[in-house]
Chains A and B, each alone.
Chain A
Amino acid sequence: MSLQILINGIATGSIYALIATGFALIFNVLKFSNFSHGATMTASAFIAYFAIAGKGLGLVPTLLIAAAAGALIALVGEFVGFRRILLNHSSATYFFVSSITLGTLYEGLVTIKAGSNFFNFPRFFSTPTISMGEQVISTSDVVMFCISMVSLLVLAFIIQKTRLGRAMRAISFDRDTAQLMGINSTRIIQLTFVISGALAGIAGVFLGIKYTLYPTLGSLVVKGFIASVIGGLGSLTGAVIGALLLGVVETVLLRLLGSGYSTIATFAIMLVFLLLRPQGIAGSNVQEKA
């Protein structure tokens, strides 16, 4: 049973990791928290749901549609909500207000289309569980974990090994200097939003599979936010570690305390952690700042 809980927790954590890295990417480059990230997840998951509904399409096309939708929403959001603020070098408060407004807007649009109903993604797997000796684990957990990890590896590759990643890292340290070195920062920021949005789309579908689809699903973004703070704001590696940790702690507590107290206990543990180590796991001298 214990192994089962661990696998369960890691699978949940890997979804949180997708959310947290999408969040941390924007934080890194723009130094603000994009609170419309959650609503972007919900909206793109719903778009994917309605696109595949009744067509019998599999998980991979669904994820691709959601990722594309998320990327598009983030791209529009960057242009409508953040571009002007960025060019004017305005204070972070404007980003805060702008991103919350955008998030509320997306959520409102989804509610108009979907009502306050719950939707279920079709069953993507013919065999819902896999037996490993004594252990029975859910197929969707395994698949979600694998896809999340592949996405994160692709992300790590982009950031560490491509010129886009190099430009993103340069901008995260000093946008003005990067521009004076010939980097088109507007373009790089756009692409950062695209990547972040695509991650949001994938995470949205996974949350939908795990918890059903409803218009305020995006509030689960808080988990990703907490994970990225635990990991050390801005550090992508930290965000992943924080997310996996959060997933496991949450699952263990859920098993021990039941659903009511486990949420409270999880947040209490996280608060204590942040009191003890406010700079997060990765600390201040983050090596792989993206």
Chain B
Amino acid sequence: MALLEVKHIYKSFGGVKAIQDFSIEANAGEIHGIIGPNGAGKTTIFNTISGVYPAEQGQVFLDGKDITKLEQYKITRLGMGRTFQNIRLFSGLTVEENVMCAFDPQSRYSVVGGLLPTPNRRKEEKRGRELCAKYLEAVGMQDYIQERPENLSYGMQRRVEIARALMCEPKILLLDEPAAGLNPTEVAELTELIGRISQQFGFGILLIEHRLELVMSISHMIHVQNFGQTIAVGTPEQVQHDPQVIEAYLGKEE
């Protein structure tokens, strides 16, 4: 069984069929790109997988466990990290606190123990801060620990959000349009970063992205979505020559 198995999921909003029969299998170390025009249902796929709302049909398995109907925080704790299309950092917290938030489920002391300065708590907080430093360094943001996210550039905020997702110690990482709003230099840096963390931490990545140069260069497999349906699956090479994909992106040839 693959690390992440999504089997034939469906989701609609009123009359809009946002996802129709979407399936994907992802393993550790793999990068799967999901592309498609706006409104194709890509973010809905992420929201359904990560439990923001449950799928109407179909199942989602993470590491062999059925997570289809689990609450969001439980899915996260089982090893699902994600970032958001519109950056959703906690703006009143420092960079370090933002990342530490995702450490919450990892720390092993009890709720009462969390309030008292016991040796156990200090040890856990220390472990948390070390992990936090490690992940912030992995995304190159180690010099901004005490900064507030709203004072950082868009590209830097993206990196902090990725570090926060890493803090969830994910088996599967969902990146929702990480290159949105970035300039070409930043896109190149981000491409390098995604490839590097994928190698370094060995989790599976699902990547929604409009910048084709990014997706095509690092994805092992690509799913092309259009109006809620999967119109093509294959290697970057394959989908680029798929007539349906070309039609969806460029329009039908007369």
Contact B90–A182 (Cβ < 8 Å): no
Output the residue of A166, A187, A191, A289 with the most chain B CB within 10 A.
Answer: A166
Indicate if B210 sits at the interface (CB-CB under 8 A).
Answer: no
Complex CA distance for A2 and B187, rounded to whole angstroms: 66
Contact A178–B101 (Cβ < 8 Å): yes
Indicate if B103 sits at the interface (CB-CB under 8 A).
Answer: yes
Indicate if A263 sits at the interface (CB-CB under 8 A).
Answer: no
Could you list which residues of chain A lie within 8 angstroms of chain B, going by C-beta atoms?
A: 158, 162-164, 166-167, 169-170, 172-174, 176-185, 187, 191, 286-287, 289
Contact A184–B73 (Cβ < 8 Å): yes
Instruction: Select which of B91, B92, B101, B114 is within 8 A of A181 by beta carbon.
Output: B101
Contact A181–B97 (Cβ < 8 Å): no
Contact A163–B104 (Cβ < 8 Å): yes
Contact B73–A169 (Cβ < 8 Å): no
Given A170-B93, A174-B90, answer yes or no on A181-B107 (Cβ-Cβ < 8 Å). no
Given A177-B84, A179-B73, A287-B92, answer yes or no on A162-B114 (Cβ-Cβ < 8 Å). yes
Indicate if B102 sits at the interface (CB-CB under 8 A).
Answer: yes
Complex CA distance for A131 and B240, rounded to whole angstroms: 88
8 smallest beta-carbon distances between A and B, as pairs: A182-B76, A182-B105, A173-B90, A181-B102, A179-B72, A177-B88, A170-B101, A289-B92
- Across the interface, which residues of A come within 8 angstroms of B102, CB to CB? 181-182
Complex CA distance for A176 and B73, rounded to whole angstroms: 10
Complex CA distance for A187 and B111, rounded to whole angstroms: 10
- Across the interface, which residues of B come within 8 angstroms of A158, CB to CB? 115
Q: Number of B interface residues at 8 Å Cβ cutoff, please give it.
A: 31
Instruction: Select which of B93, B111, B125, B164 is within 8 A of A173 by beta carbon.
Output: B93
Ordered by A's residue number, 24 sampled pairs between the chains whose C-beta atoms are within 8 Å are: A163-B103, A166-B97, A166-B100, A166-B101, A166-B104, A169-B90, A169-B93, A173-B91, A173-B93, A176-B72, A177-B84, A177-B88, A178-B90, A179-B72, A179-B73, A181-B101, A181-B164, A181-B167, A182-B168, A183-B104, A183-B105, A184-B73, A286-B92, A287-B92
| B112 to A: closest C-beta gap in Å | 10
Complex CA distance for A163 and B72, rounded to whole angstroms: 19
Indicate if B44 sits at the interface (CB-CB under 8 A).
Answer: no
Complex CA distance for A164 and B100, rounded to whole angstroms: 11
**Nearest B residue to A288, CB-CB:** B92
Indicate if B50 sits at the interface (CB-CB under 8 A).
Answer: yes
Complex CA distance for A284 and B211, rounded to whole angstroms: 37
- Across the interface, which residues of A come within 8 angstroms of B105, CB to CB? 182-184
| B106 to A: closest C-beta gap in Å | 8
Complex CA distance for A170 and B114, rounded to whole angstroms: 16
Output the residue of A166, A174, A178, A181 with the most chain B CB within 10 A.
Answer: A181
Contact B77–A163 (Cβ < 8 Å): no
| A222 to B: closest C-beta gap in Å | 28
Complex CA distance for A172 and B101, rounded to whole angstroms: 13
Contact B90–A164 (Cβ < 8 Å): no
Contact B93–A181 (Cβ < 8 Å): no
Given A169-B90, A169-B93, A173-B92, answer yes or no on A180-B52 (Cβ-Cβ < 8 Å). yes
Instruction: Select which of B77, B93, B168 is within 8 A of A166 by beta carbon.
Output: B93
- Across the interface, which residues of B come within 8 angstroms of A187, CB to CB? 111
Indicate if B82 sits at the interface (CB-CB under 8 A).
Answer: yes
| B79 to A: closest C-beta gap in Å | 10
- Across the interface, which residues of A come within 8 angstroms of B71, CB to CB? 179
